[in-house]
Amino acid sequence: MRLAVLASGSGTILDAMARSGLPISLVLVDRPCGAEKVAPDHGLTCVMVERTSFGPDFDRVDYTGQVTERLVAEGIELVAMAGFGTVLDQPMQDAYGGRILNTHPSLLPAFPGWHAVQDALAYGVKVTGCTVHVATLEVDAGPILAQQAVAVAPDDTVDTLHERIKSLERDLYIRTIREIIDRGCVL
* CA 187 to the chain's CA centroid: 18
Residue 56 has what DSSP assignment?
Answer: T
- Phi, psi values for residue 158, rounded to 5°: -55, -45
Q: How far apart are CA 174 and CA 127, in angstroms?
A: 22
CATH label of the domain that carries residue 72: 3.40.50.170
- Phi, psi values for residue 5, rounded to 5°: -110, 125
Residue pair 5/101 in contact (Cβ under 8 Å)? The answer is: no
Catalytic residue check, 115: no
Listed residues 96, 123, 155: the one ending a domain: 96
Total domains in the fold of the chain: 2
Does one domain contain both 107 and 92? no
Residue pair 104/130 in contact (Cβ under 8 Å)? The answer is: yes
pLDDT at 186: 87
For residue 187, name the pLDDT band (cuts at 50, 70, 90).
Answer: confident
Listed residues 72, 96, 120: the one ending a domain: 96
Contacts of 174 (CB under 8 A, 6+ apart): 16, 17, 20, 22
Helix (H, G, I), strand (E, B) or coil at 79: strand
Rg (CA), the chain: 16
Does one domain contain both 117 and 55? no
Q: How far apart are CA 143 and CA 28, in angstroms?
A: 24
- Domain range for 169: 102-187
Angle at 132 between CA 129 and CA 134, to 5 degrees: 145
For residue 128, name the pLDDT band (cuts at 50, 70, 90).
Answer: very high
Does one domain contain both 20 and 107? no
Helix (H, G, I), strand (E, B) or coil at 30: coil
Q: Can you tell me the mean pLDDT for 49-73?
A: 97
Alpha helices by DSSP H, listed for the chain, are: 12-19, 35-41, 60-73, 90-96, 116-123, 158-183
Does one domain contain both 6 and 79? yes
Quick: pLDDT tens for 101-115.
Answer: 999 999 999 999 999
Q: How far apart are CA 10 and CA 14, in angstroms?
A: 9
Q: Can you tell me the mean pLDDT for 57-63?
A: 97
Q: Can you tell me the mean pLDDT for 81-104?
A: 96
Contacts of 43 (CB under 8 A, 6+ apart): none
Given the residues 104, 115, 133, 162, the one annotated as active site: 104
Does one domain contain both 121 and 169? yes
Quick: pLDDT tens for 132-174.
Answer: 999 999 999 999 999 999 999 999 999 999 999 999 999 999 9
Q: How far apart are CA 4 and CA 76, in angstroms?
A: 6
